[in-house]
Structure 1
Amino acid sequence: MAKKPVKYFVVDAFTDVPFKGNPAAVCFLEEEEERSDHWLQAVAAEFNISQTCFLTRIVDSPNGTSNPRFRLRWFTPITEVKLCGHATLAAAHTLFSSGLVHTNII
């Protein structure tokens, strides 16, 4: 069975001018899909920009909160990194501006 297409956005962080700032790709993965590390790395290499962030919605929320939660992973074109600030900000911007969440807390 073929995998579903991946929704993605390319966001220029730290600017409101196109093609300026710090670019990051933001990819949304369906929570039921497991993608291999090799596949994630291949996608980041295909984008070939400084950072690609992968978001996966976490279905179960602790403490009974209803705010959406996401797992994030960050990749450069050659390796996974532990954290990337501008890609995290790009992911939050994408969630809030694209209608993928309907709250002001994530």
Structure 2
Amino acid sequence: MAKKPVKYYVVDAFTDSAFKGNPAAVCLLKDERDDEWLQNVATEFNLSQTCFLTRATTVTESDDSSQQPPRFHLRWFTPVAEVSPFSYLHIPSRSYVPNDVFYDKLLM
């Protein structure tokens, strides 16, 4: 099976300075992946948290779905296990989703 590239960022949470705060990986996925794959990626990053974001497909009653804000499935892993989505883990993922226009185009 050929490897598919994954767009990802390593962000520093809780700081405005590089190389400070808590580093976390944020992976932007086109498709859902199985638990084993997600865990293997998080283990390979070996950071305290790895966040996986996948664009959620939603059915709306409105004909103009372009006016709807994008929605995402979020999952968080440490190098050894999946973790519950505590509020502080939203910080790294929110660093990219609202401001990253390319993600919308990436998943279209």
Q: 1:60 to 1:50 in 2, by over 3 A?
A: same
The number of residue pairs the alignment matches comes to 100
Measured in 2, the distance between the counterparts of 1:58 and 1:96 equals 15
Structure 2 regions of 5+ residues with no counterpart? Answer: none
Q: Which residue of 2 aligns with 1:4?
A: 4
Q: Which moved more, 1:7-16 or 1:88-97?
A: 88-97
Shift, 1:42, TM fit: 0.6
Q: Which residue of 2 aligns with 1:80?
A: 82
Q: 1:96 to 1:34 in 2, by over 3 A?
A: closer
Structure 1 regions of 5+ residues with no counterpart? Answer: none
**Percent of pairs identical after alignment?**
55
Moved over 3 A (4+): 61-65, 84-87
Report the secondary structure of 2:38's partner residue.
Answer: helix
Q: What is the root-mean-square deviation in Å for CA atoms of aligned residues?
A: 2.1
* Residues 51 and 77 in structure 1, CA contact (< 8 A), matched pair in contact too: yes
Measured in 1, the distance between the counterparts of 2:57 and 2:75 equals 17
Shift, 1:100, TM fit: 3.4
Residue 98 of structure 2 aligns with an amino acid whose one-letter code is F
Shift, 1:63, TM fit: 6.3
